Amino acid sequence: MKDVEDGRALEALLEHLRGSRGFDFTGYKRSSLARRVSKRLQMLNLQGYGDYLEYLETRPGEFTNLFNTILINVSSFFRDSAAWEYLRAEILPELLAAKAEAEPIRVWSAGCAGGQEAYSLAMTLAEVLGADAFCQRVKIYATDIDEDAVTQARQGSYSAQDLEPVPPDLRDRYFERAAARHVFRKELRQAIIFGNLNLVQDAPISRLDLLVCRNTLMYFNLETQRQVLARFHFALNDAGFLFLGRAEMLLMHTSVFTPVNLKHRVFVKTAKIDLRDRLMILAQTGDHEAGNRVSREVRLRELAVDGIPVAQVVVDTSDAIVLANEQARVRFGLSAADVGRPFREVELCYRPVELRPLIEQAVAERRPVGMANVERPGPNAQARYYDVQVAPLLDDGGPALGVAITFTDVSRYAQLHEELERSNAELETAYEELQSTNEELQTTNEELQSTVEELETTNEELQSSNEEMETMNEELQSTNQELQTTNDQLHGRTDELNRANVFLESIVASMQSGVVVLDANLAVQIWNRKAEDLWGLRADEVRGQNFLNLDIGLPVEQLRTPLRECVAGNSGPHELRLEARNRRGKAFRCPVVCFPLAAPDNQPHGVILLMEEGG
Ligand SMILES: C[S@@+](CC[C@H](N)C(=O)[O-])C[C@H]1O[C@@H](n2cnc3c(N)ncnc32)[C@H](O)[C@@H]1O
């Protein structure tokens, strides 16, 4: 129940972000979003998404914090180095081989974070092409939804630690030192264009040869992944390549891309018939002058009728032959000269079947009539069989203008029919045997089917846990970086504290008077060197003990009242002279001053005692 409510509250939060800020996170995976938003809740000590929504509404600045928490900018140079090596050694040579010598090369790093991926692409392409050709031919578009990340990427400036994954020779060739930083070389940097682009909402960069979108799709849910992939399909040239991140396998659910190498997540567009393009080409041909078009149309009709694979003769209502197609001419000895002759004068009118009654019936009943399997002796005394059909040609529902007589050669089917009957008997027996084999197969098949389904489910689960783990890994990395910073700050503070302590101790130790500091319970906190010298007890023997219980040469009992007053804070310094005996047993009058130990809030937190040997 709590989960359902949380789910609803999270959706309400996402709707608010979309409505008020125009940022649509509804296409992101809920598991990851829930973790990231909860991180903000923890930091702000809020109880639920509802509280957080109210917080957001009253503090517009919080939106930036949430945005930065949701968008994980973790990246590194040559991330998954084996895949980059495959790109360099196998894909880029193939890509370049398909291009003319000076032809431009267009690349897109989509979801570029701090720019490491775009600069890795630049180094790889410059290595393959040479620096000059790289500058002349290559354009790398690098985009991200996160403006801060894009601003950082534009600077191309990285720490030595950031550059660790870059091989030293590449680092020396492509980066210049600037104080403690390394900056990407200016001439090559000009080939990279950084920009702010939302993959879910904005139009993609187009005419691409290589599209690199790594570890970004995995934050989206399936539906959004599918939409983004459709855009990528449009964006890529037909021979272009798509390079995804290690955990991104969900292409299985779409048919628009085909793997080139599944292990390294490189894909190409699936070839498909582009009907629209074909129609456009058709629309651009012909249509130069009307006459040409009409005569071409007539010729086309003739060719179309001639191309019909059955014999056809058209006879008008005055019994004149209007048309005899090629099959009719070849099979029934008609010629072009027969067109216009009365149909009753040609043999076909009577053989293989008397057609005049059929023609009269079709015209009278205004529907096709026919006869099946009409036999006609062929050239080698081999009989041929025809299905004859006589169809009235009705002009828009008006009177019949004539009839179309078609002769469909069914000899092959008749022959087949005979053979079929023979085979049928044999089949009958075989069928029964098959039947039982089939049943066995069916059972095996069903078992296989369920095994395959189980495997598919396991695979999907593995896939999504893999993505989940990858996401959590990135989150951990970012938390780790934050912890590192906190740790560094703590170290600094500890150093400062140590220095202050040493300083304080040296002041107390250097005092020529015995200095004793007590807490509010009169337990000894500080016992300096002079006090040790006076009373013969070491600091570690008295620390934490009640001062009034100490067995020293000073009559401490006489100090009870002044000490209590100091602790109560209603008394200023008390000066006393007490009969004392030092550690060597020598009696002397000991001047003692005690006054309250005041904290910054001016409240007494203890007592300071000063004791002299002289006097
Ligand atoms: C984990 S980083 C990946 C960086 C780099 N591609 C890599 O593999 O090292 C994911 C990036 O995707 C960006 N991103 C998230 N949603 C996006 C969207 N809708 N459009 C564009 N970029 C997005 C984030 O800002 C983040 O910089």
Query: How do residues 535-555 score in pLDDT, each as one tens digit?
Result: 999 999 999 999 999 999 999
Q: Is 79 in the pocket of ligand 1 (CB under 6 A)?
A: yes
Q: Is 322 in the pocket of ligand 1 (CB under 6 A)?
A: no
Q: Is the pLDDT of residue 272 over 60?
A: no
Comparing 291-305, 361-375, 516-530, the range with the smallest average pLDDT is: 291-305
Q: Is the pLDDT of residue 51 over 80?
A: yes
Strands (E) located in 214-303: 236-244, 257-261, 266-269
Calculate the alpha carbon distances from 541 to 322, 506, 532, 550 in Å.
134, 20, 10, 10
- 175-194: average pLDDT: 96
Per the prediction, the chain carries an average pLDDT of 87
Atom of ligand 1 at shortest distance to CA of 149? Answer: 27
Q: Is the pLDDT of residue 70 over 50?
A: yes
The confidence score (pLDDT) of residue 537 equals 94
- The domains of the chain, with CATH numbers, are 2-70 (1.10.155.10), 81-274 (3.40.50.150), 305-416 (3.30.450.20), 511-611 (3.30.450.20)
Best probe residue, ligand 1, of 21, 33, 77, 144 (max atoms within 8 Å of C-beta): 144
* Among protein residues, the one whose CA lies closest to atom 12 of ligand 1: 111
Q: Is the pLDDT of residue 291 over 50?
A: no
Atom of ligand 1 at shortest distance to CA of 199? Answer: 20
- 174-198: average pLDDT: 96
CA distance 245 to 236: 18
Compute, in angstroms, the gap from residue 144 CA to the centroid of ligand 1.
6
Q: What is the DSSP string of 289-344?
A: -HHHHHHHHHHHHHHHHHH-SSEEEEEETTSBEEEE-HHHHHHH---GGGTTSBGG
The confidence score (pLDDT) of residue 396 equals 65
Q: Confidence class of residue 114 from pLDDT cuts 50, 70 and 90?
A: very high
Q: Confidence class of residue 173 from pLDDT cuts 50, 70 and 90?
A: very high
Closest by CA position to 107, among listed 220, 236, 203? 236
Contact 222, 215 (CB under 8 A): no
Q: Is 149 in the pocket of ligand 1 (CB under 6 A)?
A: yes
Q: Is 200 in the pocket of ligand 1 (CB under 6 A)?
A: yes
pTM of the model: 0.55
User: Cis omega before residue 600 (within 30°)?
Assistant: no
Atom of ligand 1 at shortest distance to CA of 212? Answer: 6
SS3 24: coil
- 303-328: average pLDDT: 89
* pLDDT above 90 coverage of the chain, percent: 56
- 473-499: average pLDDT: 89
Look up tokens 């996160």; give the residue.
146
Closest by CA position to 231, among listed 247, 250, 208? 208
The confidence score (pLDDT) of residue 294 equals 46
Residue 207: phi, psi to the nearest 5? 55, 50
Comparing 85-94, 237-246, 443-452, the range with the smallest average pLDDT is: 443-452
